[in-house]
Amino acid sequence: APARAFAGDAVPVSVVVERTGGLANREDREHQENDGVVTVRLIDTRGTESDVDDVVLDEREVGVDALRKPVRLEAISEIEGTVDWVVEVSDGSTDDGAAELNTENNRRALAVEIVDRPIRVLYVEGGPRWEYRYLKNLLVREESIDSSVLLLSADSSFAQEGDTPITRLPADAEEWGRYDVVVIGDVPAAFLSEDQVSQVRDLVSRRGRGLLWIGGPGYTPGAWAGTRLSDLLPMVEPGAVSAWSGGRLVVEPTGLAEALSVLRLEDAVDEEGGDNNASAAGPLDAWPEGLPTLQWVQDLGRLKPAAEVLATASTGGVAGQDGESVWLPAVVRMRYGSGQSLYVATDETWRWRRGIGERYPERFYVQLIRMLGRGAVAVGDERARLTASTRTAIEGDAVVFELDVADAGLLPGETKEVAVRVREADELLGGDAAPTDAGVEVRLTRVAVDGPVDTTGLGAVYRGVWTADRAGVFEARPVATTLAALEVAAGVEVVSPDDELRRPEADHAKLAALAEASGGEVVPLDSLSRLNEPGLIRSVARRVADDRTESVAHSPLAFALLLGLLAVEWSVRRAIRLA
């Protein structure tokens, strides 16, 4: 789970179930209705008072086919501060019927820091198109968003709108850093200087902010081809993007949108007819029927390998002008460094207002903005940050530590290496290291970020590899005094496969099916004497038609090889006058 999240945001928790407990033997399993199915729950412990019951925030059923695959749970907290949650796995069996060798690993505690402040959004637009008129009103009206809106085509007497009005674009990294999400509409690339383009790129890649593009008929994305922000666009050729307007288009979300808890425009309804959390529904269940169609969507062409499609636009099975149905990416997401970039390939979501008002466009954009803003609260505004490539590693795994020093004054500019000390701790990022554990020193080497390492002007990034050689909880902290004073640290839990992962119990049903499929027979343990019966264990060795047997003594190839060697020897002897 993320270490931090906004209050009121859907906090995603990813759970991987390695093994189910199983039951003791075949006879017990025959009485188990949901053999191999476990329930994964996300629980709010609500403290330790005896009069406070635990609250189940979310739960999912996991079958055998979903083992070792991420299962997504989510919950919303309005309480500011650290919330203590527990993930619990249960197969519903009693203690007498369970065959688990280890029941202590069925629960895992996690803590999430909830930050209660508005998401700070900067919306930059070229002209007052319809999408701008409704989106800027939405941003101002939404209480969980603090917006600054800048219309570049307006004259000097125009009063710019937003909760925190501005009159110009941010001029340096500090001013850009005030925003969690930057929205770029149909804006000419020339309005941003080269320094501002680099600052936006750094804002996303190193500071975890979100960038939302809204395509338009004028400049976005074509005008941004060849700039440093073109790397944050999901299409391979921004200059080749064109508008497809061969008919009305129907927009639908993909399964990835469900996993990310976005594009849920409709509330799910439970079996009793009451409103339910939309997260319990699939992407199409949370998508309204009869949504007004769009008149045009950009054809983005070939997408980059890292691009992920959250929604598609199609002719809904109706042939377009070329006689074939059309499928186009409408909302595309791409990870870039510590942040995210999201591209919306149309500016016609305002058409969804027809007959219903602002509900659908509002949910569409607010959910996307909250998803993009998660990276900002997760990374924070630290002067230096140490992260590990994984929070849980297996013995023998390589863990990559990355130290991002945003404040260039913390280290001399010529520093090429930084040392961090990794040693065992009492608990993950909280307990003091064991007094007898001196730890191991890992050297982190400076790496290039957005160009040569000596020209970024924004601190530096260092990376190094540590091998998890034993199980336990470990903390990594920089050795340098200036960094140690900031309490910069990263925690890693190293685990080793236990006996439960070996599943020592036999699956008799599968063994019997394997024997039947291969023409064999199941022999019970009390009838092992039958193994001596002739023909019970069949020989499956066969001579195939391509087998060839040839004596080396009568092989023409062997004779030719021998003759060649003799000829070479005779020639050498003639050359040195020995023959």
Of the ranges 116-120, 377-381, 469-473, 547-551, which is most confident?
A: 116-120
pLDDT surpasses 70 at 21: no
- pLDDT for 435 equals 46
H/E element, 464? strand 460-467
| Residue, of 546 and 86, whose pLDDT is higher | 86
- pLDDT range class, residue 135, cuts 50, 70, 90: very high
Distance CA 536, CA 330 (A): 63
Is 180's pLDDT higher than 70? yes
pLDDT recorded at residue 567: 93
Virtual torsion, Cα 370, 371, 377, 383, nearest 10 deg: -130
Tell me: pLDDT of 454 over 70.
no
Higher model confidence: residue 64 or residue 505? Answer: 64
**Beta pairing class for 275-276 and 398-405:** unpaired
pLDDT: is 97 or 135 the higher one? Answer: 135
For residue 52, the model assigns a pLDDT of: 58
And the tokens for 352? 């969804």
pLDDT for the residue 407: 76
Which of 129-138, 290-299, 436-445 shows the lowest mean pLDDT across its residues? Answer: 436-445
Q: Averaged over 194-218, what is the pLDDT?
A: 93
Dist CA 161 CA 147 (whole Å): 9
Q: Which span out of 16-25, 257-266, 416-425 was modeled with the highest average pLDDT? A: 416-425
pLDDT given at position 429: 62
- Find, among 110, 86, 116, 111, the residue nearest to 8 by Cα: 116
What is the distance in angstroms between the CA of the first residue and the CA of the last residue of the chain?
85
The residue ranges of DSSP E strands in 235-347, in sequence order, are 242-244, 250-253, 268-269, 275-276, 297-299, 307-314, 327-336, 339-344
User: Which pLDDT does position 432 carry in this prediction?
Assistant: 52
Average pLDDT over residues 189-203: 93
The neighbour count for residue 439, using CB atoms within 10 Å, is 17
pLDDT higher than threshold 70 for residue 138: yes
Strand ranges in 31-189 using DSSP code E only, listed in sequence order: 38-44, 55-62, 70-76, 81-90, 107-115, 119-125, 145-151, 181-184
Closest CA to 365 of 353, 375, 355, 354: 353
| pLDDT above 60 for 431 | no
- Does residue 434 carry a pLDDT above 60? no
How high is the pLDDT of residue 62?
87
pLDDT at position 146: 96
Type and span of the H or E element at 483? helix 481-484
The pLDDT value given to residue 461: 85
With a cut of 60, say whether residue 26 has pLDDT above it.
no
> In this structure, what DSSP letter does residue 411 have?
S
Whether residue 474 is predicted with pLDDT greater than 80 in this model: the reply is: yes
Q: What is the mean pLDDT of residues 97-111?
A: 73
Tokens 């004028």 belong to residue: 218
325: confidence class by pLDDT, cuts 50, 70, 90: confident
Highest mean pLDDT among 42-51, 170-179, 389-398, 540-549: 170-179
**Which tokens go with 147?**
């917006």
pLDDT at residue 289 in the model: 86
Rg (CA), the chain: 32
Mean pLDDT of the chain: 83
- Window from 35-39, 123-127, 171-175, 320-324 with minimum mean pLDDT: 320-324
| Percent of the chain's residues with pLDDT above 90 | 42
Q: Residue 519, class by beta-carbon neighbours within 10 Å (0-12 exposed, 13-18 middle, 19+ buried)? A: exposed
State the DSSP string of 171-211. Answer: -SHHHHTT-SEEEE-S--GGGS-HHHHHHHHHHHHTT--EE
Cα(123)–Cα(129) distance, integer angstroms: 13
pLDDT band at 466 (very low <50, low <70, confident <90, very high): very high
pLDDT at 18: 80
Checking if the pLDDT of 209 tops 80, the result is yes
pLDDT of residue 479: 92
Report the pLDDT value the prediction gives residue 36, as an integer from 0 to 100: 67
Query: What sign for the dihedral angle of Cα 400, 405, 411, 415?
Result: positive
User: Does the pLDDT at position 517 exceed 60?
Assistant: yes
pTM here? Answer: 0.71
pLDDT at 280 over 60: no
pLDDT tens-digit readout, 148-167? 999 999 988 899 999 999 99
> pLDDT grade, residue 547 (50/70/90)?
low
